[in-house]
Amino acid sequence: MAAGLSRAGSTTSSLAILFLCFFSFSEAKDYLVGGKPDAWTVPSSQADSLNQWAQSSRFLVGDSLVWKFDGEKDSVLQVTKKDYVNCNTSSPIEEYKDGDTKVKLEQSGPYYFISGAEGHCEKGQKLIVVVISLKHRGIHSISPAPSPAEVEGPAIAPSSGATSFNGGLMVAVGVLVGFVLV
Ligand SMILES: *[C@@H]1O[C@H](CO)[C@@H](O)[C@H](O)[C@H]1NC(C)=O
């Protein structure tokens, strides 16, 4: 009897911790581009490129990108895909020169950024960030197709955030119950 009660208690507190994890997981995050200050620069190698960095992160709608750089020498241009490919700096969608730049990712899909410093984009100072919606609302409109790391869970039946939330909890409860019973 007493054992049963404490078992229920520990399951409940484990669930509470799980809830907290889910909530902190869905909080908006700031990402320092390149993972360190002054990373907005010509990369020394392909392996060191900003896109390499971007592939290791998962950007959600509501998150922000932060750039730290010397605003006298460089800038961040948000451009179209075409201008990204051609390194065309002449007509950016947005231009950020203050060196302490924060861009909120308001919608799902790809964002393209290039350096405004002459010749830098050609040398690889450019960045694509693919933003996904937690609620999978934008899943059909994302192009290019998100990489496997960016789509959570089984590819079949993309579900709403609420359903996968419950699904995750059910699995977690199953695991916890299995744990307690062993
Ligand atoms: C760059 O973009 C501008 C405006 O879209 C265009 O007029 C110009 O021809 C482009 N330059 C190159 C080199 O593609």
> Ligand 1 centre from 120 Cα, in Å?
17
50 domain residue, yes or no:
yes
Residue 97 belongs to domain with CATH number? 2.60.40.420
96 domain residue, yes or no:
yes
Q: Per the structure, how many domains does the chain have?
A: 1
Ligand 1 pocket: which of 79, 80, 87, 91 to mutate (most atoms within 8 A of CB): 91
Do 106 and 98 touch, CB atoms closer than 8 A? no
Q: In tens digits, what is the pLDDT along the chain, a chain of 182 residues? A: 455 555 555 666 665 555 555 555 568 899 999 998 889 999 998 878 999 999 999 999 999 999 999 999 999 999 999 999 999 999 999 999 999 999 999 999 999 999 999 999 999 999 999 999 976 544 444 444 455 444 444 444 444 444 444 444 444 444 444 444 44
Q: CA 81, CA 68: separation in Å to the nearest integer?
A: 23
162 domain residue, yes or no:
yes
74 domain residue, yes or no:
yes
Range of the domain at 75: 27-181
90 lines ligand 1 (CB under 6 A): yes
Whole-model pTM? 0.64
105 domain residue, yes or no:
yes
Q: For ligand 1, atom 4, which residue shows the shortest CA distance?
A: 91
26 lines ligand 1 (CB under 6 A): no
Q: For ligand 1, atom 5, which residue shows the shortest CA distance?
A: 91
The answer to whether the Cα torsion of 117, 73, 43, 40 is positive or negative is: negative
132 domain residue, yes or no:
yes
Q: E strands along the chain, which residues?
A: 30-32, 59-60, 64-68, 76-79, 94-96, 100-104, 109-115, 126-132
80 lines ligand 1 (CB under 6 A): no
11 domain residue, yes or no:
no
Do 35 and 53 touch, CB atoms closer than 8 A? yes
**Element counts in the chain: helices (H) and strands (E):** 4, 8
The atom number, within ligand 1, closest to the CA of 91 reads 4
8 domain residue, yes or no:
no
